[in-house]
Structure 1
Amino acid sequence: MYWHIEDSRYRIANPIQYLISKLGLSMDSLSQFVLGAAVSTAFLGRKIGPRKAALVGGVLGTLPDLDVLIPFADPIDSFVYHRGWTHSVFVHALAAPILGEGLVRLFRGLRDHRWLTWMTVFLCLSTHAVIDAMTIYGTRIFWPFYPDPVGAGSVFIIDPLYTLPLLGVVIWALFRRNWTSRLQTSVVAVLLGSSAYLGASLAVQRHVEQMALEIFSDNGGKPERVLAIAAPFNILVWKVIGLDRDSYRNLYLSLAGGNEPLEVYTHPRNPELIACLEDTPAYQKLDWFSRGFNRAELVDGRVVVSDLRMGLTPGYAFRFVVAEADGQDIRSVTPKRDLSLRRADAEDFAWLGDRLLGIPAARAAEAGFQSTTRDRAAFDCSTD
């Protein structure tokens, strides 16, 4: 989930945007809750009843996100270190016997099912990390043996087709005191179906990337790297980034059709600014976390670095001020979150609706954009 300390002035000046961000947070937490609840109901519902099992699993499914309570030194650390060790399946394996033993002692129906309880606890925790790893934000699921975040980007953080079936069976379980074979069949079917949906998203992502490579090759040449990311709320519309050293290209593809004529939007990465930042801890963290999919820009005398993977140009979800420009001098500063741009507006929602219906549509925020670059020698770098 996208959780970060936000400037109180932003909450006051942009109440609608703030409420949207909080809604996104709650929906993401809902997905984690209902997945854990469904897993626990499937394995423990017969032993302690569906209602208790669903509540236990829902709580376990949200536990990894308690890392949001860990204080960090600055907004960049908060950004890159969320979904850290609390999301590691190795930590979950160590925690499962401890939490499981507590459940065994709490519920009489689990006294003779210690191993089943421990396994259920592990699955409730680890499935949280797995579905987080399916989003582009990424999860350090194999920490400490593989410290980098794993983020496929094949599903958006809020996907109704994934969450709503799980929500339906969990609500059913919460209203049932006694276990029934019909409920068991439904819970298992929904878990299998939701898992298949995630698997299908990976296959679709691979297909979209292959399509995009051909299109990029015909429009400016093959990029150095390509990344396809599911658009909000679905796996039918995709944003594909073609990354080069000096620039990046955005391509939006819809599996529903309406991809003609294709629009490829080219934007500068401003390497002359990045050259002044690449030795600073702030930029190194952002570059590591974004896997190189970032850009720098000069905004009102401030150097802002954006993660290109999350959000739409120019209103990326995560933008950070990391330096200031004084004439031709670039000076690094204490990082802070930049919240000056809206992440979405009515035009974007209308555009997404058209693309979901297979209707050709250009993104107004990018239409007609012309790439520009500066002379790298124009700036002097300083880390004072």
Structure 2
Amino acid sequence: MDSLTQIVLGAAVGEAVLGKKVGNKAMLFGAIAGTIPDLDVLTRFLTNDAITAIEWHRGFSHSIVFSIIFAPIFGWLTYKILPKKEATWKEWSWLMFWGLFTHPILDSFTTWGTQLFWPFETRLAFQNIFVIDPLYTLPFLFFLILAINQKRTSSKRRIYNTWGLIISTAYMAITLVLKGVAYQNFTTSLADQQIAYKDIDTRPSPFNTILWTANIETADAYLIANYSFFDSKSITFESYPKNYEALGLLAENDKVKRLIAICEGWYTISVNKGSLYFNDLRFGLISMDPKEKQFAFSYQLKQENGTLEIIENQRVGADAKKLLSELWKRVWGN
């Protein structure tokens, strides 16, 4: 999830663990703990390999192992830094653990997911919420602000914080139900249109859980479709050829195999002006145009002197304002 959401969750968890004892400091250090796992973005400066940087993101720092190892370290540092010893280092460690641990738990509901069980490579991604969802974050933030303005001994403080946790968790549960309903509508439409498929993957569109997108694998292509709960027309499916044969001998290249593993097999290969591109289907296209061909995450496969270089495409042509406008219109039905 986005940084603000992780800060809010971390602060609320910190308050729940130690707020009554240390007041707003629990929220502050809970927010810090909730931010720490995302510092893995800095590791991209340690490598020139784009694939390695992708593999590291939401890896070790988003695992149970990381939470267990570093919670007592950060707890001890917090205990030493604060001059007033209102809580023991064990209590600070407990706060740090829950701040660190709830971060990857929340991220596991997004499309990218987390390697919660690192060093195992399995990436947990339920894909039921977009990385930024105002309906999850804003009510949560509202109750946190109410809580922070109460005295540490006030019963209202714990009540407000608890309501924030309950409402945000309830909304997350609802998104799982909505995902199930969307999935049912996609599969029903595929059956009605007599489309044979191997696999289907669904996710919400940006900033909402009303409009959903599905990737459908067929024998030689992937179909992409959108469905809004306000739709009145049948679901239409746009086809994108897999084009795997364009890889040639590169199909056996280690870097290409790693890219395939990262996107869990959801990819196509395209050729543009003589250049070969690897398209990650999990994050969709750069616009809502059903004829759009450019994907949000695409990598040029450039071979020089027998060495394959992976270059992330800079999403040329993406217009954020236009995309938001198209998205808003599509949310309200076809």
Q: What is the Cα deviation at residue 44 of structure 1?
A: 1.2
**What is the match of residue 330 of structure 2?**
355
> How many Å separate the matches in 2 of 1:304 and 1:179?
59
Q: Is the 8 A contact 2:196 2:218 kept in 1?
A: no
Query: 2:86 matched to 1:109?
Result: yes
SS in 2 for 1:96: helix
Change (3 A) 1:118 1:345: closer
Look up the equivalent residue of 2:92 and give its one-letter code.
Answer: T
Please list, as runs of the form range in 1=range in 2, the aligned pairs for 1:279-298 lying within 5 A after superposition: 279-298=252-271
Query: 2:22 matched to 1:43?
Result: no
Q: Is the 8 A contact 2:281 2:295 kept in 1?
A: yes
Q: Is the 8 A contact 1:237 1:356 kept in 2?
A: yes
> How many Å separate the matches in 2 of 1:193 and 1:63?
24
> How many Å separate the matches in 2 of 1:178 and 1:29?
26
SS in 1 for 2:68: helix
Q: Deviations over 1:86-125 (max 9, x none)?
A: 11012201222222233344352113xx554333221111
SS in 1 for 2:21: helix
**What is the match of residue 19 of structure 1?**
none
More displaced 10-residue stretch of structure 1: 168-177 or 128-137: 168-177
Q: What is the Cα deviation at residue 195 of structure 1?
A: 1.4
Q: What is the Cα deviation at residue 237 of structure 1?
A: 0.8
**What is the match of residue 297 of structure 2?**
318
Please list every run of 5 or more consecutive structure 1 residues that lacks an aligned counterpart in the other structure.
2-27, 326-330, 361-384
Q: What is the Cα deviation at residue 356 of structure 1?
A: 2.5
Change (3 A) 1:245 1:333: farther
Q: Deviations over 1:60-95 (max 9, x none)?
A: 100011111112232222123211101101220122
Q: Is the 8 A contact 1:250 1:264 kept in 2?
A: yes
**What is the match of residue 94 of structure 1?**
69
> How many Å separate the matches in 1 of 2:148 and 2:138?
15
Of 26, 36, 46, the residue aligned with 1:63 is 36
**What is the match of residue 6 of structure 1?**
none
> How many Å separate the matches in 2 of 1:85 and 1:191?
26
Query: 2:284 matched to 1:307?
Result: no
Please list, as runs of the form range in 1=range in 2, the aligned pairs for 1:185-200 lying within 5 A after superposition: 185-200=159-174
Query: 2:246 matched to 1:273?
Result: yes
Q: Is the 8 A contact 1:302 1:324 kept in 2?
A: no
> How many Å separate the matches in 1 of 2:209 and 2:284?
16
More displaced 10-residue stretch of structure 1: 293-302 or 276-285: 276-285
**What is the match of residue 49 of structure 2?**
74
The size of the alignment, in residue pairs, is: 323
> How many Å separate the matches in 2 of 1:188 and 1:340?
41
**What is the match of residue 289 of structure 2?**
none
> How many Å separate the matches in 1 of 2:194 and 2:223?
9
Q: Is the 8 A contact 2:267 2:281 kept in 1?
A: yes
Q: Deviations over 1:326-371 (max 9, x none)?
A: xxxxx763111111433455443233212332x31xxxxxxxxxxx
> How many Å separate the matches in 1 of 2:4 and 2:321?
25
**What is the match of residue 235 of structure 1?**
209
Change (3 A) 1:148 1:43: same
> How many Å separate the matches in 2 of 1:344 and 1:287?
28
Q: Is the 8 A contact 1:156 1:233 kept in 2?
A: yes
Question: TM-score scaled by structure 2?
Answer: 0.89
More displaced 10-residue stretch of structure 1: 55-64 or 88-97: 88-97
Please list, as runs of the form range in 1=range in 2, the aligned pairs for 1:331-350 lying within 5 A after superposition: 333-350=308-325
Question: TM-score scaled by structure 1?
Answer: 0.78
SS in 1 for 2:252: coil
Q: Is the 8 A contact 2:146 2:160 kept in 1?
A: no
Of 152, 156, 160, the residue aligned with 1:182 is 156
Change (3 A) 1:189 1:175: closer
Of 142, 148, 162, the residue aligned with 2:122 is 148
Q: What is the Cα deviation at residue 177 of structure 1?
A: 5.5
Change (3 A) 1:34 1:232: same
Q: What is the Cα deviation at residue 277 of structure 1?
A: 2.8
Q: Deviations over 1:187-246 (max 9, x none)?
A: 111112111222222222122222211212333523111001111111111001101242
SS in 1 for 2:276: strand
> How many Å separate the matches in 2 of 1:239 and 1:332?
36
| Identity across the alignment (%) | 29
Change (3 A) 1:339 1:302: same
Query: 2:197 matched to 1:223?
Result: yes
Q: Is the 8 A contact 2:300 2:312 kept in 1?
A: yes
More displaced 10-residue stretch of structure 1: 85-94 or 114-123: 114-123
Q: Is the 8 A contact 1:311 1:343 kept in 2?
A: no
SS in 2 for 1:317: strand
Look up the equivalent residue of 1:204 and give its one-letter code.
Answer: L
SS in 2 for 1:353: helix
Query: 2:241 matched to 1:248?
Result: no
Q: Is the 8 A contact 1:311 1:317 kept in 2?
A: yes
Look up the equivalent residue of 2:312 and give its one-letter code.
Answer: R
**What is the match of residue 171 of structure 1?**
145
Q: Is the 8 A contact 2:279 2:297 kept in 1?
A: yes
Please list every run of 5 or more consecutive structure 2 residues that lacks an aligned counterpart in the other structure.
286-291
